[in-house]
Structure 1
């Protein structure tokens, strides 16, 4: 039995919130897309936020947000980010595992075997290993504060066709769902672990290839995105990153005290397709 599975009272919410102190969140991949929206939303609602990202923008961060440059695939960088959070703010209450990359939609026969292997490794390293290393770095502080973890999944955690996901991305997001469920069981009752699985979100896809770690941003024209997404989900909705951020904030709040191992799916109703 792990040291997290003891008989102390379960985490009802961030201990910081219980004492009226501003809670502290660490968000990976928080300089763009969904991660940026989550970081800014948390900060706007009273959290102190630190972002870990490989590509930190120049200039001042948004109010209430600070940056740590680092790679989620590195255990050392994840540990350093947590150390900096605690050094700056004295505690950590929420870990948001969000950094991710895409495979560009490549299927099993779309790439030579060696290239497929390399793309798959790169996607799994960021989207699965990055989550595990971030969680490992944060867990002791979260146990201390009675905090929580919230991860970004995808409609590709449940579906395998029609959503632009290739075989590597689908495999990674299915694996990340397993990570969420395993951590929820392992860390109860001390740390709650939940996730948000968006679908139909307007954001750039950073797709890795077999040559570079940097990846490339893949965009369609706005009208193509709207037409494809609205036709794909039953509600015909098109979501922006800012519309997803409140789901993360809810899962990190006292209102979600009874939830662990759960996945919120703001995807326009894809579960009923």
Structure 2
């Protein structure tokens, strides 16, 4: 069961002005950078993650609430949205970000049963988790003309050279379809866009808990050699793009994907 963490601050939370977001996978990596960027710019945020801070999220609870839960369960998303509504008074932005990697496994690298188990796990987190989050958030967002922004990947477009295996590539390609379908389905009430980073080194893990990015020096060289600009971005450089897509400056955008990947589209 998911548990809400964070100390209430009198009765002023609901009255406090500023937009409200739910961010999945906001405890680390790009998700954490997005939470920090949003709160710095006036948002109040509910974070849905399996991990919560050691203090239970009490620090900064006037702006951030934590809900412990698994994105593969519809109830976890419903609880996070309910916290946004009851504690902060509404919902303006849903960021679907929680994800898991497959470790670069190819179709012939595992026995059939093991490959099926891995693929189901990756697809459940990276695709079904997005669908369940969108379902829980759609109604409240529509009532306020809100937005959804999803984390995709260079693996939503590429299938070789980026470390993605067959399950992760399948999941991220599928997530691109989710974004496009939701954009058409929820227009004009809710705008749906995405950010597809490439080569951003984070704490992303595989289904069995192994870190995807190990050996920092080797990873940096490989990333820079792979993209035309020869860059490796930090999560903090990517995070403002989520806020932009939710802002009035992007009012004419839906079904679009921003690709901070060093120019892989022209590779």
Does TM-score exceed 0.5, indicating one fold? yes
Deviations 1:20-64 (A, max 9, x none): 940000000000000000011000000001100011121246642
Instruction: Tell me the distance in 2 between the aligned counterparts of 1:122 and 1:89.
Output: 33
RMSD of equivalent CA atoms: 1.2
Instruction: Tell me the distance in 2 between the aligned counterparts of 1:191 and 1:149.
Output: 7
Counterpart of 1:114? Answer: 113
Q: Does the CA-based 8 Å contact 2:102-2:207 persist in structure 1? A: yes
Q: 1:58 aligns with which of 43, 54, 61?
A: 54
Counterpart of 1:249? Answer: 243
1:39 paired with 2:38, answer no
Instruction: Tell me the distance in 2 between the aligned counterparts of 1:109 and 1:219.
Output: 23
Instruction: Tell me the distance in 2 between the aligned counterparts of 1:61 and 1:217.
Output: 28
- Show structure 1 runs of 5+ residues with no match: 1-19, 210-214
Q: Which of structures 1 and 2 has the larger relative contact order (alpha carbons within 8 angstroms, sep 6+)?
A: 1
Alignment map for 1:98-109 (pairs within 5 Å): 98-109=97-108
What's the secondary structure of 1:105's corresponding residue? coil
Instruction: Tell me the distance in 2 between the aligned counterparts of 1:132 and 1:116.
Output: 23
When structure 1 is superposed on structure 2, of 48-57 and 95-104 the one drifting more is 48-57
Q: CA deviation at 1:205?
A: 2.4
What's the secondary structure of 1:207's corresponding residue? coil
- Between the two proteins, the alignment pairs up a number of residues equal to 249
1:171 paired with 2:170, answer yes
What's the secondary structure of 1:261's corresponding residue? coil
What's the secondary structure of 1:225's corresponding residue? helix
Q: 1:268 aligns with which of 253, 262, 265?
A: 262
Instruction: Tell me the distance in 2 between the aligned counterparts of 1:105 and 1:205.
Output: 13
1:80 paired with 2:76, answer no
Shift in CA distance, 225/183, structure 1 to aligned 2, threshold 3 Å:
same
Deviations 1:213-244 (A, max 9, x none): xx232332111111000000000001111110
1:48 paired with 2:44, answer yes
What's the secondary structure of 2:242's corresponding residue? helix
Deviations 1:162-208 (A, max 9, x none): 00000000000000000000000001111000000000101122101
Q: Does the CA-based 8 Å contact 1:40-1:65 persist in structure 2? A: no
Alignment map for 1:103-142 (pairs within 5 Å): 103-142=102-141
Give TM-score, length-normalised by structure 1.
0.89
Give TM-score, length-normalised by structure 2.
0.91
- Show structure 2 runs of 5+ residues with no match: 1-15
